[in-house]
Each structure stands twice: as structure tokens, then as C-alpha cells.
Structure 1
Amino acid sequence: MQSYKAGLSQALAKHEDQLKAQRGTSEGARARATALEGEAEAPAGLRELTKDDFDSFLHEAGGTLVIVDCYTDWCGPCKLILPQLVDLAKELEGRAHITKFNCNKYNKELGISLGIKVAPTFLLYKNGEQVAMMTGAKIDALRELIEKHA
């Protein structure tokens, strides 16, 4: 378990360094980071949603299943499941979208209106309508839920 945690910490640190480098090259990225209170960009294969584009993205996705990972920056289980979500996004490419939604101060009102009380909470949408909800960092249960609704 210690080696798993160490490997995860190294991977997260490397990804954070890449994000900092990307932000440093773009004025727009710096402005967005300030607007979102320092929130990090989503890892490759995952899209970060905010209160500003949440509804429009769900409607644009149409009949494609959208999985929204409602997380917080301080949530340990949210960080532990992240690499598995990246892998799952690659597997589901073309069949479903896995997105991230940080329930921080900037997005807090929408998080409350969505009924988010526990992190992580996974919301599944199809045709702009919520079809399922699951709490906890249980990748196998999430896979089953996705297969049921995909």
C-alpha cells in the first residue's frame, strides 16, 4: 500500500507540474485559474466542468452518457480514484464522457442544487437528464452503473 501511495503521489506531482507549465504559457489559463480559485485542470481524457458550462455541456452531449465526478480538492478517495477514472475515460472514448466537477466555493451553489453531500459523488446524465447517482470511490460499482446506462 505504501508503494501504491508513493507512486500515486509521484504521478499527481508530475501532473501538477505539467499543469503549472501549461498555465504559465497562457494568459487565458492564468485568468481562468484565478476565476476558479486555483482549481487545477482535469487530467487528460477528462473535462473539467464549472457552473458556467455544466448545463450546456450536458445538452450538447445529447444521447451520449455523461459521467460527472463531483469531487473536492481535499477528498482523499477522490484523489485515489482519479487514475482509474483516466483509464476508464480511455476505455469509454466515443461511448461516454467522464467529466470532473469541483464542488468548491466557485461551484458551491450548483453543487448544493445537485444534492452533493459526499465526495466523490458520480452523477450520470443522458439527453440532459440525470439517470443515476452513486456515492463513494468504488470503480467496479461505477463500471456496472455505466454499463447499465450506456
Structure 2
Amino acid sequence: MVHVVVDTMISTFNVVKVTAVRFSWNFSGQADFDGKLESAGDLLVVVDFFAQWCGPCKMIAPKLEELATQYTDKAVVLKVDVDECEELAMRYNISSMPTFVFIKNKQVVETFSGANNDKLANFFVKYTA
């Protein structure tokens, strides 16, 4: 639970943390996450469901950062820590990490689990063409 003071008003809400490769957002719920999907428009959205303790997640992170930089004008990358964002993990039926969910126009077009650099790169190419 987080207490936020804004112009002497105190708001209390559960924080859902979602991070992008270059940015970090604290969301007050799934509606904020959905807002990021909405604002992506027709760009590819790649959601990386990971855990801080996950070895394969750490192994593939540099490749994901490389691809996010390479496709910065064609894709939005969001990193979702499953331990902090259980609601989102359940929404996308995440059972192993890392799991990558590829979304176009707010629709899931592909999902895969595992630290496969080539597969990750191929899906970026496929869905940004």
C-alpha cells in the first residue's frame, strides 16, 4: 500500500510496478497498463514478464535492451515483474519466466517463454515489418 500526497490530498492505492527498458512507471492498476497499450497505437508492444530472481530472465535482458533500442520507433517494450504485478501475470496466464507477450493493436499476436535470443529477435522482425 502506498500513500501519495498531492496538493495536501492523500490518496491510498496498491501500486503495480511496470518498467520499460528506459523508463519506470508505477501504475495504480490495470487501467494504467491498458492506457500504455492504448497509447502505443499501432506500434508493436512487447511485454517481458520476468522475476528479479530468474536466471534466464537476466540472461536475455541484454538482448531485449538491444532490440528495444534498435526498434525504438517501431516497438514499445514493457517489463513486468511478476512478483510485483501478480494481476497482470494472471491476466496473461504467465506460468514461467521469462515470457514475452507480443501485442499489436491491443491484441495478443504471439507468446513464448524462455531465454531464446534468436526467437526473440525473429518476433521483433516479424511483427515490425
Q: For 1:59-102, what per-residue CA distance to the aligned partner results, in whole angstroms no more than 9, with x for missing partners?
A: 11111001000001111111111122111111001011111011
Give the structure with the higher percent strand: 2
CA contact (8 A) 1:48 1:101 kept: no
Cα distance in structure 1, aligned partners of 2:95 and 2:62: 23
Show structure 1 runs of 5+ residues with no match. 1-33
- 2:40 paired residue among 56, 61, 72: 61
Q: For 1:36-63, what per-residue CA distance to the aligned partner results, in whole angstroms no more than 9, with x for missing partners?
A: 6xx796553x655754422111111111
The alignment's TM-score, normalised by the length of structure 1, stands at 0.66
Number of corresponding residues = 115
- Work out the percentage of aligned pairs sharing the same amino acid: 34
CA RMSD of the aligned region, Å?
Answer: 2.6
Cα distance in structure 2, aligned partners of 1:133 and 1:77: 16
CA contact (8 A) 1:71 1:121 kept: yes
Give the structure with the higher percent helix: 1
Equivalence for 2:6: none
Show structure 2 runs of 5+ residues with no match. 1-13
Match of 1:84, SS?
helix
Cα distance in structure 2, aligned partners of 1:92 and 1:47: 19
Structure 1 residue identity aligned to 2:98: P
Equivalence for 2:66: 87
Structure 2 residue identity aligned to 1:114: Y
Structure 1 residue identity aligned to 2:102: L
